[in-house]
Amino acid sequence: FDPNQSVVRLIEPLAIDEEDRTITGNVRSWGVLQLPWSPRISSYTTKIVYSIDGDGLIYSQIQSWSIPASEALSETFTPAILNPPFSKMERPEDEPPEVTELFEIVNGHRPNSFPQDTRFRASELIDKIVSKRYPWHREDLPGKWALSYLQPGPDGGGIDRRIPFPDLWFNNNFQIFTRDSVTNIGEL
């Protein structure tokens, strides 16, 4: 990962099991790989288990990812120009942790690119955020917003598309907000 364009963050404190002589950590990673075509890797979680020998040295490391290896490989060989939109927006100091985690999960994704466990977590976070009714500022809304996650509405509905267009792995969906209107855009 390019350290200037990527994040690897410990999600929760390390778990140390002295009896089994293991250290377990869960991290969330995303960013840009240091390859000539600058591929962007979407947010994913990794569970890492280190096994410690009698001398206190690591003799084994086992990783499991929240995405299939085929998806990681595909993203590795996808030039940056074909990747979904990715925001480099700074996190506000007063941003609630649920909002930060949701942003990290959906940033750089398309709606159809989430593994099931990530969908469950994103939906949980959306429900938490909505139930807490965090304040927002109307002046922050105008701009171009990428559609990166789609949660069914209360009656199971999705996006209301007046002009249908296909959801393909490479197309992007946007909404452009002004003070008085919303324009839906689907790119092919």
Digit-coded pLDDT (tens) for 144-171? 777 777 666 666 555 554 444 555 666 6
Do residues 139 and 112 make contact, with C-beta atoms less than 8 angstroms apart? no
- Burial label, 116 (beta-carbon count in 10 A; 0-12, 13-18, 19+): exposed
Is the model more confident about 121 or about 157? 121
pLDDT, residue 163, reads: 46
Stated length of the chain: 188
Digit-coded pLDDT (tens) for 18-33? 999 999 999 988 888 8
